[in-house]
């Protein structure tokens, strides 16, 4: 009987959060450092809220026909950033959805201004220690980190933290159950 009551309470909490979030007639945007889990949490959140989900990096790749790795390998980071900026501007002109941004998207001041005007911004915070623990994988999978020293990556991490500080909500990302993190997030949105 107790399990049923807890289940009903959890369902009502989620329902309340969904109603509250739907009243929030803005995009919900996830930001954070590389590997924070922005895409997976944004996708889960969108599903729970019945909204469309977008990943700005995936859309930039689809629009250009080039992978992010190809941009960076060719020394075309500026071209990628310009495309990323346009993709995000276009997304913000659509009906409210859930968007995961690339880790460096907010470093562009115009993009940052637009995002904060048009969206509810959630920072998925990861500690430097967690980043350090995942560096070998991140360096293999993130073109911006290839051939960079740990000190250079730490400097990038710190610089980006400055842009994430403006977020409306900051959620510490534990390792583990993403669904529980989405529950926590929906609870925050309900308040």
- The neighbour count for residue 75, using CB atoms within 10 Å, is 8
pLDDT band, residue 87 (cuts 50/70/90)? very high
The tens digit of pLDDT for each residue in 125-134 reads 999 998 999 8
Query: pTM for this structure?
Result: 0.83
pLDDT of residue 3: 58
Return d(Cα 98, Cα 52) in angstroms, integer.
6
Domains parsed from the chain with CATH numbers: 20-190 (3.40.50.300)
Element (H, E) at 120: strand 119-125
User: What are the residues whose beta carbons fall under 8 Å from the beta carbon of 125, sequence distance 6 or more?
Assistant: 32, 36, 164, 170, 171, 172, 173
The tens digit of pLDDT for each residue in 60-70 reads 999 999 999 99
Per-chain mean pLDDT for the chain: 86
pLDDT of residue 8: 63
The DSSP line for 10-69 is: HHHHHHHHHHHHHHS-SEEEEE-STTS-HHHHHHHHHHHHT--EEEHHHHHHHHHSS-HH
């Amino acid at each position: 009987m107790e399990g049923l009551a807890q289940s009903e309470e959890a369902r009502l909490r989620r329902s309340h959060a969904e109603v509250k979030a739907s009243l929030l007639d803005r995009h919900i945007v996830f930001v954070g450092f590389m590997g924070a889990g922005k895409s997976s949490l944004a996708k889960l959140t969108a599903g729970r809220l019945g909204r469309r989900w977008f990943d700005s990096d995936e859309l930039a790749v689809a629009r250009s026909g080039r992978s992010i790795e190809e941009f960076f390998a060719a020394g075309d980071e500026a071209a990628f950033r310009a495309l990323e900026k346009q993709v995000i501007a276009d997304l913000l002109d659509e009906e409210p959805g859930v968007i995961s941004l690339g880790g460096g998207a907010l470093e562009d001041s115009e993009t940052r201004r637009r995002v904060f005007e048009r969206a509810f911004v959630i920072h998925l915070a990861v500690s430097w220690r967690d980043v350090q623990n995942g560096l070998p994988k991140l360096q293999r999978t993130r073109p911006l980190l290839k051939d960079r020293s740990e000190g250079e990556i730490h400097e990038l991490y710190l610089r980006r933290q400055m842009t994430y500080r403006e977020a409306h909500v900051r959620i510490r990302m534990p390792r583990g159950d993403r669904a529980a993190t989405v529950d926590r997030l929906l609870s925050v949105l309900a308040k």
